[in-house]
Homo-oligomer: A and B are copies of this chain.
Amino acid sequence: MKAFLKVMRALSDPNRVKIIKMLQHKVMCVCEMRAALQIAQPSVSKHLKILEDAGLVFFHKDGMWVNYQLADGSASPYAASLLGNLRHWLEDDSELTEIVEKLSSIRREDLCGR
């Protein structure tokens, strides 16, 4: 039950749902998500840790960059199922579509270090 609750809890926060929807479109680093969500960097890191613990995302380091992407679902059947469904869920949610639309204008070269 622990793994199931972890996924449910991870997806109970609006900002974490936003992170998932963004990562459906683009691999991102922490400061890109910070800019997109307009929240403090520590909050982003903490959200990502929860998502990672739940098996919903994973990261690769590329130098000083830490790039996050959606997990493939191998870590948790619950994560796999929710990630699969979220591919088509909430696609018409205005708040989410607005954030996703703005992704094309978010580049780490313009943003990070600020």
Listed in ascending order, the chain A residues whose CB lies under 8 Å from chain B are: 1, 4-5, 8-9, 11-14, 17, 77-78, 81, 85, 89-90, 93, 95-96
Contact = CB atoms under 8 A, between A and B. Distances in A.
A100 to B, nearest CB: 13
- How many chain copies does the complex carry? 2
A14 B85 CA distance: 23
A70 to B, nearest CB: 17
A89 B95 contact: no
Please classify the interface of chain A as helix (H, G, I), strand (E, B), loop, or mixed, using the class held by over half of its residues: helix
Contact of A89 (B11, B77, B89): B77
A5 B1 contact: no
A95 B8 contact: no
Contacts of A77: 89
